[in-house]
Structure 1
Amino acid sequence: MGGLEALKPGTDSDRPVHIVFVGAGAVGCFYASRLHHPSHNIHVSLIARSNYKALTEHGVHLQTHSFGDYTFRPHAVFPSVAVAAANPNPSGAGFREWDFIIVTTKALPDRSDDSALIAPLVGPRSCVVLIQNGVGVEQPYRARFPANPIISAVTVISAEQTSPGTIRQNRWTRIHLGPYTNSASFSSSPGHTVTPTYPRGDDTTGALSPTGVVPHPASVPATTTDASPSALLPTTTHLTSLLADWWTRHGQIRDVDVADELALQTIRWHKLCINAAFNPSSVLSGGRGNADMVQDAELRAHLAGVMREIWEAAPRILGGKGFPAYMATPEKILKSTEKNVGSKPSMLLDWEAGRPLEVEVILGNPIRIARARGVELPRLQTVYALVRSMMEVRERRGKGGRL
């Protein structure tokens, strides 16, 4: 990444900066389109799957509330990580290392290990950026890439892919960026990565296992207490500022915010208050939307209880002072949700479509991280157990298994 360490925000690099997005869905394509500026030496490529043909032939058509309609033509579009790793420079000018690898896939650690997926892309000086839901999403990447800078990001955006290669951005563009060392570790000492004890077994998927079980060592390289992710903090903080500058100065996104590590994790846990309450409850309640749930007295009390449990536990988990006054309280969230008529949480949409659910990063990981800090989340654990059971029953039925 030679040269980027000395580059100051507000100035342009004197050599090409190459960025690849892993995940070409609505969120990935939108933020990639606002970061791609070849005239300023910033070149963004995409790794796509189902929409690869459309993106290759026509680029990305964006219909946005914030910037009007436009077409984004990436520097390159790859059909897989393997192709992007084998031929990172489609112009044939020789091998180069990706400066930034930005992951915008859905976080499903119980299904696959995305840290292993991107491993072929990561060079010694690459920076990994995670724009994913939930908490604890950074831990597998830190375990696998102990010497690489990692940036954690939380976004609030309403966007959807209406057809292959066509993205509609409805509302919001806010994104928070912050450096990550090891604050979301499942260890009781978040400042260090420790070598865990693994159960016997032949699972090599690298998926996060259910609460109380740790991943198999064949897929997640264990580091030792000698590792010092905090040594990466100055470099990571600088790279975070560069990304924020490019999205703001060139991409014209007005609500890009940079936070320190504790503040960024606090933002993740605040968003979790909403996601952990509304998402699984919409599935467990039989498919009711957000506004519909808060109009039901018993469901409203349940939602408030889950949010309040996280709200009160977060300071003990994070070692901070609690949520800042500007962040909406559970009561304000419930009140504002009354107006969100017709809205369905993403987990309900995934459930109705038969897709996997982000149950681990929204429910399982918070429970694991909290327990490692000596904090129990009984309401959240109940919701987690019920949703996981529903998923297992559906899968067994789908495979013709007997209950």
Structure 2
Amino acid sequence: MAINGDVTNRQVLLIGAGGVGAMACVSLERSCMASVTVVLRSNYDKVKRDGFEIESVDHGKLSSWRPTTILDAIPQTHESATYDYVVVTMKNIPEISNIPATIKPAVTPGYTTIVLIQNGIYIEQPILDAFPSNVVLSGVSYIGAHERNGCITHNEHDHMNLGVFHNQALDKKIEHDKLQDFATIYSANRAVSVDTAGDIMFYRWRKVLWNGVFNSMCAITQLDSAAIRHFGGEYSLLRPGMAEMAAIAKADGYDLGPDIVDLMIDFTPVELAFRPSMLVDVDKGNPMEIEVILGNVLRVARKRGVLTPILDNTYRFLKLIQTRLLATRGLVSQKQECASDLVWI
């Protein structure tokens, strides 16, 4: 049963209310089918006191907006208080956080559905390993939303591909029903759209092709999406890197099409000069999502025997920057390099 015993009102715990997470809270709450408990960290005091200030292309202006419950720590579930869904929108940075360990107190074995709305490729298996009796849903989000101290700017429509990461121990109908239920709740107010996918990994590969190249190389060069092309990076770095990424995906069983590089380049028009998320992290001195966005890609390349000279060097440079960012926060020593299990050839 849900916490309040009302099966029509799903109880949702959302962890990580930056821009993406905050707008997910809005969509879920405005469905009138879910009550959201959100876990905040750096912005907890501000949001608890004043709520979110939101300017949204989908939902309009929302002042002092709050979800049902705001917490500063993961709650411990028990028999009379369980969550139907645990939604994870926090950044996936294994150097500083362990997602399965983080969410474990809130997950009821065999009951809670875990929804990952995060960047990266093959991020689901560690969750399935930690929670072998739970449904795992995987979401690829295309929203444009940014949070700063409780203020949300949402300027690109909320659209998501959502699919099941299949658990061999579960009936596929159970997984499918949970997929349809969450998609219905999330998109109930019709301001946002959710497309359910038969194989979510195809869409993860499409997005990581852009993120693993454009995002990474902007972070390294500290050039925005337009400047890196103006200064010659499109044909020397971006296109070759994307071609390597497409070859890895194809070797993994996902043919993204012969025009995928052109599509991804055109997806980021040169007139739109913006600073991708990794570059914003570097600007703020925050660690980056290197492993899930690029490290996991290169692990697939090693497994499939695909040579990746451009992406290998991209990863090496990112690891050096990551070490600097972690050292500044006292998380590694100045002489210590971020560990990696990748073998260079």
Question: Where on the TM-score scale, by shorter chain, does this alignment land: which range?
Answer: 0.7 to 0.9
Name the residue aligned to 1:59.
51
Does residue 366 of structure 1 match 2:297?
Answer: yes
Contact 2:212 2:294 in 1 (8 A): yes
In 1: Cα distance, 2:45 partner to 2:266 partner:
44
- Choose which of 238, 242, 246 in structure 1 pairs with 2:185: 246
Name the residue aligned to 2:9.
16
Amino acid at match of 1:357: M
Percentage of identical aligned residues? 27
List aligned pairs for 1:1-400, cutoff 5 A: 14-37=7-30, 39-40=32-33, 42-71=34-63, 72-81=65-74, 84-85=75-76, 95-124=80-109, 125-162=111-148, 164-181=149-166, 228-229=168-169, 231-249=170-188, 251-260=189-198, 262=199, 264-285=200-221, 287-317=222-252, 319-320=253-254, 322-323=255-256, 329-393=260-324, 395=326
Structure 2 stretches lacking a partner, 5+ long: 337-345
Contact 2:9 2:32 in 1 (8 A): no
Change in Cα spacing, 1:38 to 1:45, as seen in structure 2 (3 Å) is farther
Structure 1 residue matching 2:320: 3-state secondary structure: helix
In 1: Cα distance, 2:171 partner to 2:94 partner:
25
Please report how far the alpha carbon of residue 323 of structure 1 lies from its aligned counterpart in structure 2 after TM superposition: 2.1
Amino acid at match of 1:353: K
Change in Cα spacing, 1:337 to 1:14, as seen in structure 2 (3 Å) is closer
Number of aligned residues: 329
Contact 2:13 2:83 in 1 (8 A): yes
Report the TM-score, using the length of structure 2 for normalisation. Answer: 0.87
For residues 20-60 of structure 1, the C-alpha deviation after alignment (integer angstroms, 9 at most, x for no partner) is 101111111101111115854x2111011122223223332
Change in Cα spacing, 1:390 to 1:39, as seen in structure 2 (3 Å) is closer
For residues 144-196 of structure 1, the C-alpha deviation after alignment (integer angstroms, 9 at most, x for no partner) is 1111100000001111113x3221211121111100026xxxxxxxxxxxxxx
Please report how far the alpha carbon of residue 299 of structure 1 lies from its aligned counterpart in structure 2 after TM superposition: 4.5
In 1: Cα distance, 2:116 partner to 2:176 partner:
15
Structure 2 residue matching 1:123: 3-state secondary structure: coil
In 2: Cα distance, 1:334 partner to 1:170 partner:
20
CA RMSD of aligned residues (A): 2.5
Contact 2:225 2:270 in 1 (8 A): no
Please report how far the alpha carbon of residue 394 of structure 1 lies from its aligned counterpart in structure 2 after TM superposition: 5.6
Change in Cα spacing, 1:33 to 1:338, as seen in structure 2 (3 Å) is closer
Amino acid at match of 2:218: S
Change in Cα spacing, 1:296 to 1:118, as seen in structure 2 (3 Å) is same
Amino acid at match of 1:265: M
Name the residue aligned to 1:223.
none
In 2: Cα distance, 1:255 partner to 1:99 partner:
21
Please report how far the alpha carbon of residue 340 of structure 1 lies from its aligned counterpart in structure 2 after TM superposition: 4.1
Contact 2:244 2:308 in 1 (8 A): yes
In 2: Cα distance, 1:85 partner to 1:309 partner:
44
In 1: Cα distance, 2:100 partner to 2:316 partner:
26
- Point out the structure with max Rg over C-alpha: 1
Amino acid at match of 1:142: L
Contact 1:26 1:168 in 2 (8 A): yes
Change in Cα spacing, 1:396 to 1:165, as seen in structure 2 (3 Å) is closer
Contact 1:136 1:365 in 2 (8 A): yes
For residues 337-367 of structure 1, the C-alpha deviation after alignment (integer angstroms, 9 at most, x for no partner) is 3434431111111112211011101110111
Contact 2:119 2:292 in 1 (8 A): yes
Change in Cα spacing, 1:16 to 1:337, as seen in structure 2 (3 Å) is closer
Report the TM-score, using the length of structure 1 for normalisation. Answer: 0.75
Change in Cα spacing, 1:355 to 1:398, as seen in structure 2 (3 Å) is closer
For residues 69-96 of structure 1, the C-alpha deviation after alignment (integer angstroms, 9 at most, x for no partner) is 1253322111101xx226x8xxxxx832
Amino acid at match of 2:194: V
Please report how far the alpha carbon of residue 268 of structure 1 lies from its aligned counterpart in structure 2 after TM superposition: 0.8
In 1: Cα distance, 2:52 partner to 2:269 partner:
34
Amino acid at match of 2:69: A
Structure 1 stretches lacking a partner, 5+ long: 3-12, 89-93, 183-227
Please report how far the alpha carbon of residue 314 of structure 1 lies from its aligned counterpart in structure 2 after TM superposition: 0.8
In 1: Cα distance, 2:172 partner to 2:182 partner:
15
In 2: Cα distance, 1:245 partner to 1:105 partner:
22
Structure 1 residue matching 2:226: 3-state secondary structure: helix
In 1: Cα distance, 2:327 partner to 2:150 partner:
34
Please report how far the alpha carbon of residue 255 of structure 1 lies from its aligned counterpart in structure 2 after TM superposition: 2.4
In 1: Cα distance, 2:101 partner to 2:76 partner:
13
